[in-house]
Amino acid sequence: MGTEKKNEMMVSRRTVLKVGAAAAGTAAFLAACGTSGSSTSPSPKPSQSDTISDVVNVANWTLYIDLSEDELARPTVTAFETEYSTKVNYVEAINDNDSFFGTIQAPLKAGEDAGWDIATLTDWMAARIIRLGWAEKLKTAHMSNFTANLLDVYKGRSFDPSVEYLAPWAGIVGGIAANKTTAGFVKGFKDLFDPRLKGKVSLLTEMRDTIGLAMLANGDDPAKADRASFDRAIALIEPSVTDGTVRAFTGNDYKELIVKGDVAACVAWRGDVVQIGYEDANIVWVTPTEGCTFSSDNMLIPLGAAHKYTAEKWMDWYYKPEIAAQLTAYVQYVSPVKGTKEEIAKIDESLASDPFIFPDAALEAQLNVFAGLSEEDEIYMNDAFSALQGN
Amino acid sequence: MLRWLGRNALRAYTGLALVYLLLPIFIVALFSFNDPVGKTNYTWVGFTLDHWANLFAIPGLLDSVIVSIRIAFISTLIATTLGTLAALALVRYQFRGRPGTSLFIFLPLATPEIILGASLLTLFVAIGRPPFFPLNEFTILIAHITFNISYVIVTVRARLSGFDRRLEEASADLGADGWQTFWRVTFPLILPGIAAAGLLAFSLSIDDFVITNFTAGRTTTFPMFVWGSARVGVPPQVNAIGTIFFVVAVSAVAIGSFLQRRRA
Amino acid sequence: MIAFLRRRPGLLPLLLLAPAIAWLVAFYVYPAIQMLQASLWSGTLETGFAFSWANAATYPEALDRYSDQFLRSILYAAVSTVVCLALAFPLAYTIAYRAGRFRTLLLFIVIAPFFTSFLLRVLAWKTVLGDDGFLLGPLKSIGLLPEEFRILATPIAVIFGISYNFFPFMVLPIYVSLEKIDRRLVEAAKDLYAGPARAFQRITLPLALPGVFAGSLLVFIPAMGDFVNAELLGSVQTRLIGNVIQSRFLVNNDYPTAAALSFMLMAGILAAVFIYARVLGTDELETGIG
């Protein structure tokens, strides 16, 4: 096992250098990381709790991290490990918010460590966890990049008004993915129910994306979502679920279905579709004519996490513009970090002007955030949406 | 004529049935040698040994295999011990409540895995403190021992029922005490049955997904790793591990039956 | 200790049984009681749960809401059992009577699937049966099948998956009962009834019934609780009660409903087993006399 680990590290270090060479701006920095890790000790250790732990357990979604060319290493993660002489147990454990919540709620409720130092969750789920008192307050004093570089739009959000709990990971634009054949006629949400697509469509289990797009298609505003507009959205989708047009409700796993050809068009997240495109150029993004949904995923530290300090350092790491640029250039989601645009231009000029990474006014007008829900409304909607999926 | 047709139809059918049984195993092995473009390993692209050479390059895979083997080993050891003792009692002794006990032992086998898993989850949540909670490798172990005990009892008992009691009586006549008789006569005779039960328990444990899914918490066993990676595309290395498991199991069974045949 | 047991031999079997029974009481019976209690909870995870007998209403509510999934589970499990039986009997018959020196090898191939991971087997079928996969892809390109034809995400795929995964459970018990039959009986029957078909009907088939009975239970029970095949090979229209229990427990954290559904499923299975035993048991008796 010892040799195994060593090999793994050697591979990653090589890939870090390779990526570094590709991205001229970060090359010097990464090369420096490559040598600094073993020789210099990390930042001073004021107290027992403020020390870097041997390991930090990070839960994230799939397709949410930069990969090396051979897809075996995660350059920005490896660079963090080298910088802080720690090991990141980075697990793509989150397929959708609800099922992940299902795995952590029991320990958190019991006041136990849920096993994760970082969980990356969508706004409404992050809000629920804060409401339940299950998130650690961040000690921003040693998070200088975060305090300096968090974009202003993420400050003062209703569920975390003074930025005490959440560090946004990425902004997510929800819309449609199609293959080149179906992209010809799939222009909006309603086109997913075209008879030509019978049995070839998947929707997201993420209620706010699927229902949000349905509301837009109905001419309703997701920002003002209420039971009436929700019921109209369900009524739009339900016949196509019953007649088998909709094949599945998925989390990130629509990737597998659409690449394999079992699904021909689906509700999808924009960054995923770009990444799927690296693998299969046949898959393309479609901006629905009626507009897109917008939300963000946020890093938070679950209450009682064993390695809080290292987790804070992890959050802070992704607020270094050059790291954020490296991540964003790969995953292509909206970056919440100031200065990313300038850094990303050094990697790929065209990305700096991509509105889906740095939304311009024209795209911003198309993005729709789902309303915050009262607990009763949330239960009502979750229940009906769950029934729609056969649960 | 009719008979000839009947016989050959049966033969052809048997051939088809065997293909049906073996096809998925073949596919699993085949795709461990595939060289897919991205993460999605579905269509045959080209032959490569890369994934076998870098068997554990996928982060977390090796750990999950180690966890699975460890749990399978310990749960087999405990379940086989408890189960064998119980099987001895059920076959060798007449006592009040024996039919009821047999029925009780059959119950876990008649319970769908999902219910076993769900009820254990309810128990662990209700206890709500270590070592049962938060869920971990220990809770998986408890779950595996629970479903394995009944399998072991049933298997060992089936082997024991053909046991010739006169051999023990002969041993006693020759002056051996109960303890000596057990270790010198009884145990060697029932050992193949115990070994079969142990093998069954091990293979059930190492392959269990449903019950583990309920009792695992953050611990990742090999089947849980497969389930997780199925969302984004199962890497060829996972197929390779599956193939290794298959070859090892086949070898174990082959060696076992060879030894038994030699003894007989 | 040994001397003590020699004085009271009646204690020995109890002592041997005690550890296993204690284990099953602690981790099988007790959790079941816990679950019974959880099915009578009300509330949500956020507000906390409270126990009351009045919450027994959860049972009829859950049964009503999930009647489709319940019926589907029964239907799929029954069809899978029949499919397995139809496929397994000829195979078991061949292995028992026609295989000669290949018997061990054939038996081994029957259990071979158990030596690879269950999930990998299901995923392998998903690959094979894909809309544009090995099987359908070529048939579609030569025009034998229409472009929109599919197997995955249909009831056929789920029943196929269940049948495949539990097939060996049907073959083995039937093989064991066939193998036990004294062939002289069949020979005598052939003389008596004049013809192999009648002999098969009057002797072989009835004597194989215990194996059929055991095999059917071994397929039907796990099929009733399946959710993996339905999840990986099925669609929204093929959700089974297992999928509902799994997601109510692990996704929605709706413990009361999930626990109530589990209890009803268990009761349903026990009832089915009991009825099946009664019906088949009396049948067997009659053929035995006749």
Give me the pLDDT at residue A38, please.
31
The nearest CA of chain A is from the CA of C132 a distance in Å of 7
Q: Which residue of A has its CA nearest to B218?
A: A115
> Do B53 and B67 share a structural domain?
no
**What is the per-residue pLDDT across C103-134, written as a single tens digit (0 to 9) for each?**
988 998 998 898 889 999 999 999 999 998 88
Torsion C213-C214-C216-C222 (CA) sign: positive
The answer to which of A210-214, B34-38, C83-87, C152-156 has the lowest mean pLDDT is: B34-38
Q: Specify the residue for token string 């080149």.
A: A180
C84-289 belongs to CATH 1.10.3720.10? yes
> Do B161 and B78 share a structural domain?
yes
Mean pLDDT estimate for chain A: 85
| Calpha distance A18→A34 (Å, rounded) | 12
Residue A232's nearest CA partner among A264, A277, A280, A189 is A189
A15 has a chain B CB within 8 A of its CB: no
Residue B142's nearest CA partner among C20, C250, C27, C29 is C27
Hey, are the CB atoms on C119 and B149 less than 8 Å from each other?
no
Give me the pLDDT at residue B166, please.
82
Q: Specify the residue for token string 């087997």.
A: C121
| Calpha distance B192→B197 (Å, rounded) | 9
Residue B43's nearest CA partner among A259, C206, C222 is A259
Give me the pLDDT at residue A172, please.
93
- Are A303 and A104 a contacting pair, CB within 8 Å? no
> Do B245 and B181 share a structural domain?
no
Q: Specify the residue for token string 């009832």.
A: C271
**What is the per-residue pLDDT across A139-184, written as a single tens digit (0 to 9) for each?**
999 999 999 999 998 998 889 999 999 999 999 999 999 999 888 8
| Chains with at least 3 CB pairs less than 8 angstroms from chain C | A, B
pLDDT of C4 > 80? The answer is no
pLDDT of C71 > 60? The answer is yes
Write the residue in C153, C249, C250 that is nearest to A247 by C-beta.
C153
Q: Which residue of C has its CA nearest to A258?
A: C131
User: Which residues on adjacent β-strands are paired with residue A57?
Assistant: A89
- The domain that holds B105 is classified in CATH as 1.10.3720.10
The nearest CA of chain C is from the CA of B39 a distance in Å of 14
Give me the pLDDT at residue A6, please.
36
| Chains with at least 3 CB pairs less than 8 angstroms from chain A | B, C
Chain C residues in contact with chain A using a Cβ-Cβ cutoff of 8 Å: 44-46, 65, 69, 130-132, 148, 150, 152-153, 235-237, 239, 243-244, 247-253
Where does residue B60 fall: left (phi above 0), alpha (psi -120 to 50 degrees), or beta otherwise? Answer: left
The nearest CA of chain B is from the CA of A225 a distance in Å of 31
> Do B225 and B120 share a structural domain?
yes
Q: Compute the average pLDDT of residues B232-242.
A: 90
pLDDT of C68 > 90? The answer is yes
**What is the per-residue pLDDT across C175-220, written as a single tens digit (0 to 9) for each?**
988 988 888 888 888 787 767 788 888 888 888 888 898 899 889 9
> Do B54 and B65 share a structural domain?
no
A2-170+297-354 belongs to CATH 3.40.190.10? yes
A148 has a chain C CB within 8 A of its CB: no
Hey, are the CB atoms on C45 and A109 less than 8 Å from each other?
yes
> Do B199 and B82 share a structural domain?
yes
- Interface probe, candidates C17, C30, C73, C111, chain B, greatest B C-beta count within 10 A: C17
> Do B160 and B175 share a structural domain?
yes
Write the residue in B42, B217, B231 that is nearest to A62 by C-beta.
B231
Q: What is the pLDDT along chain A (391 residues), one digit of tens a residue?
A: 333 333 333 333 333 333 333 333 333 332 333 333 333 333 333 334 789 999 999 999 988 999 888 777 899 999 999 999 999 989 888 888 888 887 788 778 877 788 899 999 999 999 999 999 999 999 999 999 999 999 998 998 889 999 999 999 999 999 999 999 888 899 999 999 999 999 999 999 999 999 999 999 999 999 999 999 999 999 999 999 999 999 999 988 899 899 988 999 999 999 999 989 988 899 999 999 999 999 999 999 999 999 999 999 999 999 999 999 999 999 999 999 999 999 999 999 999 999 999 999 999 899 999 998 888 898 899 989 999 998 8
> Do B249 and B146 share a structural domain?
no
> Do B42 and B91 share a structural domain?
no
Identify the residue with better confidence: B77 or B172.
Answer: B77
The answer to which of A76-90, A304-318, B51-65, C221-235 has the lowest mean pLDDT is: B51-65
Hey, are the CB atoms on B232 and A11 less than 8 Å from each other?
no
Q: Specify the residue for token string 């915050």.
A: A372
pLDDT of C277 > 90? The answer is no
CA angle B190, B196, B200 (to 5 degrees): 145
**Does the bond joining B36 to the residue before it have cis omega, within 30 degrees of 0?**
no
The count of structural domains within chain B is: 2
Give me the pLDDT at residue B78, please.
98
Hey, are the CB atoms on B119 and C23 less than 8 Å from each other?
no
Give me the pLDDT at residue A37, please.
31
| Calpha distance A231→A210 (Å, rounded) | 13
The model's confidence at residue C101, banded by pLDDT at 50, 70 and 90, is confident
**What is the per-residue pLDDT across B200-224, written as a single tens digit (0 to 9) for each?**
899 999 999 999 998 987 788 999 9
* CA-based max dimension of chain C: 82
Exposure string for A320-357, b = 16+ CB within 10 A, e = fewer = bbbbbbbbbbbbbbbbbbbbbbebbebbeeebbebebb
pLDDT of C143 > 60? The answer is yes
Alpha helices in chain A (DSSP H): 2-22, 24-39, 75-84, 97-109, 123-131, 144-149, 207-217, 227-242, 254-260, 270-279, 308-317, 321-331, 340-347, 349-352, 361-364, 375-388
Residues of B in contact with A1 (CB under 8 A): 62
> Do B195 and B179 share a structural domain?
yes
Residues in chain B: 264
A222 has a chain B CB within 8 A of its CB: no
% of chain C surpassing 70 pLDDT? 92
Hey, are the CB atoms on C117 and B222 less than 8 Å from each other?
yes
Hey, are the CB atoms on B28 and C116 less than 8 Å from each other?
yes
Which residues neighbour C3 within 8 Å (Cβ) at sequence distance 6 or greater?
none
A105 has a chain B CB within 8 A of its CB: no
Q: Which domain holds residue B30?
A: 1-58+236-264
B56 has a chain A CB within 8 A of its CB: yes
Residue A177's nearest CA partner among A196, A198, A200 is A200
Give me the pLDDT at residue B182, please.
83
Write the residue in A99, A248, A379 that is nearest to C236 by C-beta.
A248
> Do B159 and B105 share a structural domain?
yes
Q: Which residue of B has its CA nearest to A280?
A: B38
Six-digit token string for A276: 């799927």
Identify the residue with better confidence: B95 or C125.
Answer: C125
Q: Which residue of A has its CA nearest to C62?
A: A391
Which residues neighbour B247 within 8 Å (Cβ) at sequence distance 6 or greater?
none
pLDDT of B262 > 60? The answer is yes
Residues in chain C: 290
Write the residue in C46, C131, C244 that is nearest to A261 by C-beta.
C131
Q: How far apart are the first and last CA of chain C?
A: 55
C267 has a chain B CB within 8 A of its CB: no
A92 has a chain B CB within 8 A of its CB: yes
CA angle C93, C97, C98 (to 5 degrees): 95
Give me the pLDDT at residue C285, please.
33
B55 has a chain A CB within 8 A of its CB: no
| Calpha distance A83→A77 (Å, rounded) | 10
| Calpha distance A59→A72 (Å, rounded) | 18
The nearest CA of chain A is from the CA of C236 a distance in Å of 6
Q: Which residue of B has its CA nearest to A94?
A: B228
Q: Where are the domains of chain A?
A: 2-170+297-354, 172-295+365-388
B with C: how many residue pairs have Cβ under 8 Å apart? 218
On the 0-12 / 13-18 / 19+ scale of CB atoms within 10 A, A299 is buried
Hey, are the CB atoms on B178 and C94 less than 8 Å from each other?
no
Give me the pLDDT at residue C5, please.
64
pLDDT of C225 > 80? The answer is yes
Write the residue in C34, C124, C225 that is nearest to B115 by C-beta.
C225
The nearest CA of chain C is from the CA of A361 a distance in Å of 38
| Calpha distance A18→A12 (Å, rounded) | 10
Write the residue in A91, A116, A255 that is nearest to B60 by C-beta.
A91
Global ipTM: 0.91
Q: Judged by CB atoms within 8 Å, which residues 185-204 of C form the interface with B?
A: 196
Q: What is the DSSP string of C182-236?
A: -HHHHHHHHHHHTSHHHHIIIIIHHHHHHHHHHHHHHHHHHHHT--HHHHHH--G
Mean pLDDT estimate for chain C: 87
Residue C75: CB atoms within 10 Å: 13
- Interface probe, candidates C235, C253, C257, chain A, greatest A C-beta count within 10 A: C235
Which secondary structure element, helix H or strand E, spans residue B16, and what is its range? Answer: helix B2-30
Torsion B221-B226-B227-B231 (CA) sign: positive
Where does residue C181 fall: left (phi above 0), alpha (psi -120 to 50 degrees), or beta otherwise? Answer: beta
Q: Where are the domains of chain C?
A: 84-289
Where does residue B214 fall: left (phi above 0), alpha (psi -120 to 50 degrees), or beta otherwise? Answer: alpha
**What is the per-residue pLDDT across A54-65, written as a single tens digit (0 to 9) for each?**
999 999 998 899
- Interface probe, candidates A247, A263, A266, A282, chain C, greatest C C-beta count within 10 A: A247
The model's confidence at residue B177, banded by pLDDT at 50, 70 and 90, is confident
Give me the pLDDT at residue C272, please.
80
Residues of B in contact with C248 (CB under 8 A): none
Give me the pLDDT at residue A121, please.
97
Residues of B in contact with C265 (CB under 8 A): 112, 115
Hey, are the CB atoms on C227 and B18 less than 8 Å from each other?
no
A348 has a chain B CB within 8 A of its CB: no
A99 has a chain C CB within 8 A of its CB: yes
CATH classification (class only), A172-295+365-388: alpha beta
